[in-house]
A = this chain, B = another copy of it.
Amino acid sequence: MEFTVITKDRGSKARLGRIRTPHGDVSTPVFMPVGTQAAIKALTPEQVRGLGAEVILGNAYHLYLRPGHRLIADLGGLHRFMNWSGPILTDSGGFQIYSLGTLRKITEEGATFQSHIDGSHHFLGPETAIEIQEALDGDIMMCLDECISYPATREEVEKALGRTARWASRCKNSRRSNRQALFGIIQGGVYPDYRKRGVEEIAAIGFDGYAIGGLSVGEPKDLLLESLAATAPRLPEDRPRYLMGVGTPEDLVEGVYHGIDMFDCVIPTRCARNGLLFTNGEKVVIKNARYREDGLPLDSACDCYTCHHYSRAYLRHLYVAGEILAMVLNTIHNLRYYLRLMERIREAIREDRFRDFRDGFLRAQSG
């Protein structure tokens, strides 16, 4: 993997870049659609690619449990298994383990947990996380980290911070080759000094890229932004910076503002399935009766397939009738909204006017 910063915005920390992977190039800042179970929910890979996605996410925890990483390896790896020929980043499973709550127990060795599917018992340590991700054979792997919830005491955060750093070393040491890139993850909760220490410890180990984890776990928005600002600009300049699992369109814009290059989030796809659709200016709850007879497209400014061919009245009908096609068309729109937002962000950075873009975008969203 190779990362190049092409240009920097002068009014912010935003930067335009390119990640070169064995499966193709990625223009940054980039949004990565989430394909948790080896599928972007409701869409074919061709549809995802057609929306402008350049890289997608897979998930070690989910694929380890079902269908099994060995099976995917035997069938030629995740790219072939799911018919996605572009770059794939695999998450380590740290966040999923964290989400299991009382179903998991974490020690220095790793995490023992019960499957969310059948309650069976499993162990996931740093070495296992790498083994699984090597079997999946994605382009970018993530270290196993210990994510903690909000609120957490300084003592709890410090403990998880140290463990995350030790696990990061173990992850790096256990990889069989450098063929797949490996990213380190910064924890530190909402404490700026711990975020700073996290950056120092993880950067000292040395990775192909750096991720900010443990945000969007329940903390207020101002603490998310404060933690982001305390972390992102300190990350090594010459490596991609990835803000994990965040967030809303506003979060993406703020992330870029603070120097983030990569994002992933289930918001656009999950909201789509729940009938919540993004447009510039307002979020549309498509089941609302006001759209019953509305012959207009969802968003006249949008270039997606859904907005080109269907009325709000039709989208409302499909959603209310429980048609699967509602999920397909809604997902197409929301993902395109996110991916087009990233295109507009990249354009603004290229033209050195990202700060204005950000101010205008945030004003429009709150107005």
A residues with CB within 8 A of B: 37-44, 66-67, 71, 74-76, 81-83, 292-293, 295, 305, 309-311, 313-314, 316-318, 320-321, 323-325, 327-329
Contact = CB atoms under 8 A, between A and B. Distances in A.
Contacts of A317: 37-38, 66-67
B39 A325 contact: yes
A295 B321 CA distance: 36
Contact of A74 (B37, B40, B293, B323): B293
Contacts of A314: 38, 75, 81-83
Given A293-B71, A313-B71, A324 B41 contact: yes
Nearest to A310: B83
29 contacts: A37-B317, A37-B321, A38-B318, A39-B321, A40-B325, A41-B323, A41-B324, A41-B325, A42-B324, A42-B325, A44-B328, A44-B329, A66-B321, A67-B292, A67-B313, A67-B317, A67-B320, A74-B295, A75-B293, A75-B313, A75-B314, A76-B295, A81-B311, A81-B314, A83-B309, A83-B310, A83-B314, A324-B324, A324-B328
Which of A293, A318, A321 is packed against the most chain B CB atoms within 10 Å? A321
A50 B316 CA distance: 25
A327 B325 contact: no
Given A83-B309, A313-B67, A43 B320 contact: no
A328 B81 contact: no
Given A81-B311, A81-B314, A317-B66, A71 B292 contact: yes
A314 B66 CA distance: 11
* 3 A-B pairs with the lowest CB-CB distances in the bound complex, closest first: A42-B324, A67-B317, A39-B325
B39 A311 contact: no
Contacts of A39: 318, 321, 323, 325
Which of A44, A71, A292, A293 is packed against the most chain B CB atoms within 10 Å? A44
How many identical subunits does the complex contain? 2
Interface residues of chain A: helix, strand, loop or mixed (majority): loop
A329 B292 CA distance: 30
Contacts of A320: 66-67
A295 to B, nearest CB: 5
A71 B328 CA distance: 23
Contact of A323 (B37, B81, B293): B37
Nearest to A295: B75
Contact of A43 (B41, B74, B325): B325
A299 B161 CA distance: 51
A111 B75 CA distance: 56
B44 A325 contact: yes
Nearest to A311: B75
A67 B318 CA distance: 9
Contacts of A310: 83
Nearest to A323: B39
A327 B44 CA distance: 11
Which of A39, A74, A320, A325 is packed against the most chain B CB atoms within 10 Å? A325
Nearest to A318: B39
A77 B246 CA distance: 42
Contacts of A313: 67, 71, 75, 81
Contacts of A76: 295
Nearest to A80: B311
A318 B293 CA distance: 36
